[in-house]
Amino acid sequence: MAYKYVFGPVMSGRLGRSLGLDLLGDRICSMDCVYCEVGATRDRTCERRVYVPAADILKELALWKEEGLEPPDMITLGGLGEPCLNLDMETIILGSRRLFPDTPVAVLTNASLMTDPQVRRELCAADVVLPSLDSLVGDEFAAVNRPDRTITPQAVAEGLLEFKKEFKGQIFLEILLAEGINDSDENLGLLQDFCKRLAPDRVDVVTLTRPGTVKGVRPVDGAVLSRWRLALGGGETRNRERSGTGGKEMSLERMTAAVTASLNRRPQTAEQLAQALGADPERVRQAVEALEKMGDVTRRDDRGQTFYHGTGHVIED
Ligand code: SF4
């Protein structure tokens, strides 16, 4: 069965084996980050709408459950854009929990809509919220996140602080550094003060590990990452090792559909795909190469690794 809104599982450094739900169905976001893994934003907006109805997403999730594969470690709302833009977000969180009562629900968000008390109330239904905030320096924020013109980093920070007072679950803050864009000492100082006030459950300072939207945007080096992690109390992000499906062996048809859906959302190496899908690396490699021959997947070499991405993934020159 080919899914439109359920993708993965993908192996996430922070969440383990994570089954993704796409709440937008298209590249719709309040930002257009230079490092975005799903490609350039097609519609940059802060307007909340039912971009994909909860019923459509939950119907797919119920079908995924019926397949009897190994349950994921986490169900993660995200996908091709900013999930908080979907007015059905809370219904989707609650419906996911009804289908998988033992699996926590996480939301990946750029935090830009946390200025809205209604969005914060809806997010409180989740178990884990993973906001990102890459810079508190206005010019840097504009350069790295390319947000809707109504969004300021100060408003995002205040929204996050309000959310922290209201939310009973865990907050994993992510800061992504791009060389020469948001790795300044000024930003580090401001984020240090902010992290002290927010006191999130963890801080993940990361850099680009996959091709982003804009060519030429570079990761920071290991020494910079270590310095920031030390200053912000952030730990290393590691993938959890998993092997085998623990459930039914995936059919080739099912695996091909899962590989396509996953690569349309984030570029990955064949090894990363195999780990995420809990499948035999050789079978995954065969599926990827078959898709490449059919023109449904293309490859790109980046820093000595071969990444594959779906034809829906757009990279700016
Ligand atoms: S990285 Fe996240 S916030 Fe940035 S453009 Fe992509 S989906 Fe939107």
Is 287 in a helix, a strand, or coil?
A: helix
Lowest mean pLDDT among 128-132, 168-172, 241-245, 262-266: 241-245
Residue 281 has pLDDT above 70, yes or no: yes
Q: Name the residue with the closest Cα to ligand 1, atom 6.
A: 36
Residue 231 has pLDDT above 90, yes or no: yes
The rounded Å distance from CA 80 to ligand 1 centre is: 8
The rounded Å distance from CA 213 to ligand 1 centre is: 10
Lowest mean pLDDT among 70-74, 107-111, 116-120: 70-74
pLDDT of residue 287: 79
Q: Are 271 and 210 in contact (CB under 8 A)?
A: no
Angle between helices 281-293 and 252-263 (to 10 degrees): 70
200 vs 249, more confident? 200
Q: How far apart are CA 241 and CA 227, in angstroms?
A: 27
Confidence of residue 254 (pLDDT cuts 50, 70, 90): low
> Which residue's entry shows tokens 């994921």?
72
126 vs 261, more confident? 126
Q: Classify residue 304: in a domain, yes or no.
A: no
Q: Classify residue 82: in a domain, yes or no.
A: yes
Q: Structure tokens of 315?
A: 């990279």
The rounded Å distance from CA 67 to ligand 1 centre is: 31
Distances (CA, A) of 142 to 43, 70, 296: 17, 41, 33
Ligand 1 atom closest to the Cα of residue 35 is: 1
CB atoms within 10 A of CB 163: 23
Which residues make Cβ contacts (< 8 Å) with residue 218, sequence separation at least 6? 178, 179, 180, 208
CATH number at residue 91: 3.20.20.70
Q: Classify residue 302: in a domain, yes or no.
A: no
Q: Classify residue 231: in a domain, yes or no.
A: yes
Which residues surround ligand 1 with Cβ inside 6 Å? 29, 31-33, 36, 38, 41, 81-82, 110
The rounded Å distance from CA 83 to ligand 1 centre is: 10
User: Chain-centre distance of CA 6, in angstroms?
Assistant: 13
Residue 240 has pLDDT above 50, yes or no: no
- % the chain with pLDDT above 90: 64
The rounded Å distance from CA 246 to ligand 1 centre is: 33
Q: Classify residue 257: in a domain, yes or no.
A: no
Ligand 1 atom closest to the Cα of residue 27 is: 7
Question: For the chain, percent helix, then strand, then coil, each to nearest 5?
Answer: 35, 20, 40
Cis peptide upstream of residue 200 (ω within 30 degrees of 0)? no
Confidence of residue 243 (pLDDT cuts 50, 70, 90): very low
- % the chain with pLDDT above 70: 90
Domains in the chain, number: 1
Q: Classify residue 256: in a domain, yes or no.
A: no
Confidence of residue 284 (pLDDT cuts 50, 70, 90): confident
What residues make up the domain containing 21? 6-249
Burial class for 224, CB neighbours closer than 10 Å (0-12, 13-18, 19+): middle
Q: Classify residue 32: in a domain, yes or no.
A: yes
Burial class for 13, CB neighbours closer than 10 Å (0-12, 13-18, 19+): middle
Q: Classify residue 180: in a domain, yes or no.
A: yes
